[in-house]
Amino acid sequence: MDTHTYPVTRTDAEWRAKLTPEQYAVMRGHGTERPGSCALLYEKRAGTFTCVGCDQPLFEAKLKFESGTGWPSFNDPVEGSVETTVDRSYGMVRTECHCARCGSHLGHVFEDGPPPTGLRYCINGVALNFQPA
């Protein structure tokens, strides 16, 4: 059980009132949206992707790239905005990423991304809002 406390906390009822059922399943239940199902996958404008749960800036649009996976992918998060934990679900070992401010599940990070970081932050689009520049 995660005992880490975050600067933004809500009761389960408050999370359910704030999030759509799909957002709740992904962000609070560590779920995954269907690949290719989110409009933000196709977002190409300059701006910032923020957390649906707390509005924290997470990823700059200039670091978004097309990975072909069906989820928005980024090279690197805004400094200090994303934390990681080991995810051992489904018989795999992966690195989960979550919002450092509210703890919401965002997706996973993999070491198969392009330079300069070599990382691919594979993020559920329903966990993101987009703020155009």
**Which residues are designated catalytic?**
122
Place of tokens 């957390």: 51
What are phi and psi for residue 70, nearest 5 degrees? 100, 5
- Distance between CA atoms of residues 35 and 101, nearest Å: 26
Task: Give the single-character DSSP code of 133.
Answer: -
Contact (CB, 8 A) for 119 and 75: yes
